[in-house]
Chain A
Amino acid sequence: MSNQKKRNFQIEAFKHRVVVDPKYAEKTWNILEHAIHEIYNHNASGLSFEELYRNAYNMVLHKFGDKLYSGLVTTMTLHLKEISKSIEAAQGGLFLEELNRKWNDHNKALQMIRDILMYMDRTYIPSTHKTPVHELGLNLWRDNIIRCNKIQTRLLNTLLELVQRERTGEVINRGLMRNIIKMLMDLGSSVYQEDFEKPFLEVSAEFYRGESQAFIECCDCGEYLKKAERRLNEEMERVTHYLDAKSEEKITNVVEKEMIANHMLRLVHMENSGLVNMLLDDKYEDLGRMYNLFRRVPNGLLTIREVMTSHLRETGKQLVSDPERLKDPVEFVQRLLDEKDKYDNIISSAFNNDKTFQNALNSSFEYFINLNPRSPEFISLFVDDKLRKGLKGVTEEDVETILDKVMMLFRYLQEKDVFEKYYKQHLAKRLLSGKTVSDDAERSLIVKLKTECGYQFTSKLEGMFTDMKTSQDTMQGFYASHPELGDSRTLVVQVLTTGSWPTQPSVTCNLPAEMSVLCEKFRSYYLGTHTGRRLSWQTNMGTADIKASFGKGQKHELNVSTYQMCVLMLFNNSDRLSYKEIEQATDIPAPDLKRCLQSMACVKGKNVLRKEPMSKDIGEDDAFFVNDKFTSKFYKVKIGTVVAQKESEPEKQETRQRVEEDRKPQIEAAVVRIMKSRRVLDHNNVIAEVTKQLQSRFLANPTVIKKRIESLIERDFLERDNVDRKLYRYLA
């Protein structure tokens, strides 16, 4: 390209008449210099902008730019030195004002000078890479005023002192302060940072270090936090009023570090007022403050969470292991619910509904609820209590709330199958004794359990409800087909499907003749309508109402169990019966018989029988009489009601054993499912997967799983690998 002939037209520059006056530059500069003096002396009104501009223009044009520029620097420097002197001379409080006024003057002057020298700014300066006029003016100001020895430290000290005075509560001239800070910022961010911000932060850190030390010695935690919060807000306010916005983060960091981060642990653990005390006393406001302050520093929330978690676990552990509490299951569960409510409230009103805190809460509950192996039983008892009587007169919504809360506790249980077992028992008792208050509430809870654990979990419970309903229809049918029995329903039968109900095979006792006739009628009716079924009587689960009249003609209606009824009916025919005779006549299993005799002969107010000899326990040689002196305020007397209550130790063991038995097939099924899909899998993975699969129902014990695997190997479902003994193979 370069050797191509250029075809551009050359435009000849317009030839000025060259001024040959050798003193031209000197003269022109003198005019300009004078003008600058006048400007600084506030005497600019007599100047002609047009003339001055032209002079400057000409000087640049005639290659006197150098002279013009250096002249400007010298002149301005000269003026600034003077200004500096007058600022230095300003006394005390006037110092800043003088500085501010001079700064304003300088800015105005600079403005005018720049206008005059605009041509130089545009052409000479870019080509020689010099500093433009405005910036030059600022730099000169910086070097001659701000960084002048006598001013620099004085300025800094004055500013810091003002801040300090404001911190101690004095009112300062914020406008002036803002102007001066603005000046520093105009001079470049490095000036602001070096000459003010850095020392400001250092001094602040020192101040807050001292102050926090003093506070922490004399304040309690809540008060301290209040002070820290106020300080933080003050600093933020300060920034918006007269500091650079970028300083906010830096200064708040200083406050956070000095006032919070450095004292975090001491604050949290402060005796009598620390986090634990706040939690105990539900100090939402203080807790909220702590949360908001601590979230600003690294690990702050973690610290709160850890302390809260360990406190929760500790108190929870005490709660579930306190033998006093274990006496009343309903109270026990209520305490758990109260504790949960308490922390839910704290988290929602003080901790911003923080998810991590909710998780910590949940895991803590899960931890300590499962520390007590009776928790599943107690929770079921709590529900039982609520559904028996606790919900009377409570609105539907409140019922829902209570049930939801119970479900929440249920979710924490690791051994859900144990809960199911107890729930079934308690539900059965409720249904059979007709004690359930609200069918809707019962069903609502079952729906909840179903959504939580699936159909399998609740199918049997639902089966129980179906049985109750069907039994009603059956009874109607029965009495309709036996009109001779009349309207009074002497016998009410509930037909329970085997498997759905927690029934144990039991010996049917000998019913009184009146009853057994009826029972036989029912049996033939039922088997007539349902072929292929088998009926057996669960006499251990029934109840009866008996009308009885005693010696002096007192009449009462006694509500008793079937066993008790059988015993009482015997006394229609004789006055005195020995234990042996009763046992022989009724065929009631000995422990049950003893219990039922005890409740009729040894309980004050319910002693419809009299025993010889008088004692608390039933002996094999005791004799029984009708207690003719029996009295009661009530016409209806309930004897030995079948109230669901805490299981005794042997019963508990038995339930536990049955649960363990029930788990075996579930574990085996899980192992087979897993091995069927994986074909080959190593021991530890089998254990892990089985545990995971069963987690929603219970926590499988590795040793138990191992035993099941061994059993499966023995039954040729699995085999060990020949080479690697830790590998199992599925045998199809």
Chain B
Amino acid sequence: MDSPAVVSSRLTIFDIYGRYCEIKSKNADVCAEGYRQDDESQKAKFSREQLAELFNLVESTVHTRISVFDELFKLMSQLDLMTDFSEFSRFYDFVFFMCRENGQKNITVSRAVTAWRLVLAGRFRLLNQWCDFVEKNQQHNVSEDTWQQVLAFSRCVHENLEGYDPEGAWPVLIDDFVEHMYRVSGSNENPNFFCSCGDSESQSCGYEEPLP
């Protein structure tokens, strides 16, 4: 790896995103080519290491990262995220990557909420309710898994919560949110909500075009 000092001075958010994509897609390629299990997990480990290195690099260069959301916004406006969902999905994960601080694996609630309001605006009909709920009820940091599942949740579940499956392996935070929503709307008027989202449905909606 190049010594960080050389590159550091002019590392922009675009560069970081470029490298991030590179590492991610390399890993994806490996998976697609169907290496043996051992190999695959080794590659995955390798890419994790690379990501960690990249993260360290970012940490050491961009000291005053108050503007990380501005940067992300800048990047977002340059990317074509409307047509290709996988592109958006990668960008979404990248946002989490950038929001991490001090070598931690998860991000604070306030950062998570700000980031959600930025990236999911117009994509998640319950965004406001969700952010309010998280701010009020989540004491711990938001984990990467929860972060990723929120994207899946936003695509699977409709405004009236139709499509939510309580057995759907959602993180507890999401379960609590749904329960909270039912309570707030004061109704379980249609208990069928609970079982309407099957496996296939939730999977298929992962490939739908993003909502306008």
Contact = CB atoms under 8 A, between A and B. Distances in A.
Interface of A: 682-684, 703, 706-707, 710, 713-714, 720, 723-726, 731-732
Contact of A726 (B41, B105, B175, B199): B199
Contacts of A706: 169, 171-172, 175
Contacts, number: 42
A720 B145 CA distance: 8
A683 B167 contact: yes
A637 to B, nearest CB: 51
Given A724-B203, A726-B199, A732-B41, A710 B146 contact: yes
Given A683-B167, A714-B106, A723 B203 contact: yes
A707 B172 contact: yes
Closest 9 CB pairs of A and B: A683-B169, A726-B169, A713-B145, A714-B143, A706-B172, A707-B172, A725-B152, A710-B171, A684-B167
Nearest to A712: B145
A588 B202 CA distance: 60
Contacts of A724: 199, 203
Name the residue in B143, B145, B149, B171 with the highest tally of chain A Cβ atoms < 10 Å from its Cβ: B145
A724 B205 CA distance: 11
Contact of B105 (A682, A703, A714): A714
Nearest to B199: A726
Nearest to B156: A725
Contacts of A726: 168-169, 199, 202
A726 B175 CA distance: 14
A212 B113 CA distance: 76
Given A713-B145, A714-B145, A725 B105 contact: no
Interface residues of B, number: 20
Nearest to A722: B31
B37 to A, nearest CB: 9
Secondary structure call for the B interface: helix
Nearest to A702: B167
Nearest to B148: A720
Contact of B172 (A710, A723, A725): A710
A370 to B, nearest CB: 23
A682 B167 CA distance: 11
Contacts of B162: none
A254 B105 CA distance: 78
A725 B202 contact: yes
B55 to A, nearest CB: 15
Interface string B160-185: 00000001110110010000000000
Name the residue in B148, B149, B169 with the highest tally of chain A Cβ atoms < 10 Å from its Cβ: B169
Contacts of B169: 682-684, 706, 725-726
Contacts of B59: none
9 contacts: A683-B167, A683-B168, A703-B172, A703-B175, A706-B171, A707-B172, A710-B171, A714-B106, A726-B168
B144 A714 contact: yes
Contacts of A732: 41
Nearest to A728: B169
Contacts of A683: 167-169
Nearest to B105: A714
A713 B168 contact: no
Contact of A725 (B144, B146, B149): B149
A311 to B, nearest CB: 31
A707 B146 CA distance: 11
A703 B176 CA distance: 10
A422 B175 CA distance: 33
Contacts of B172: 703, 706-707, 710
A732 B146 CA distance: 22
A731 B145 CA distance: 15
Interface string B168-212: 110110010000000000000000000000010011001000000
Contacts of B144: 714
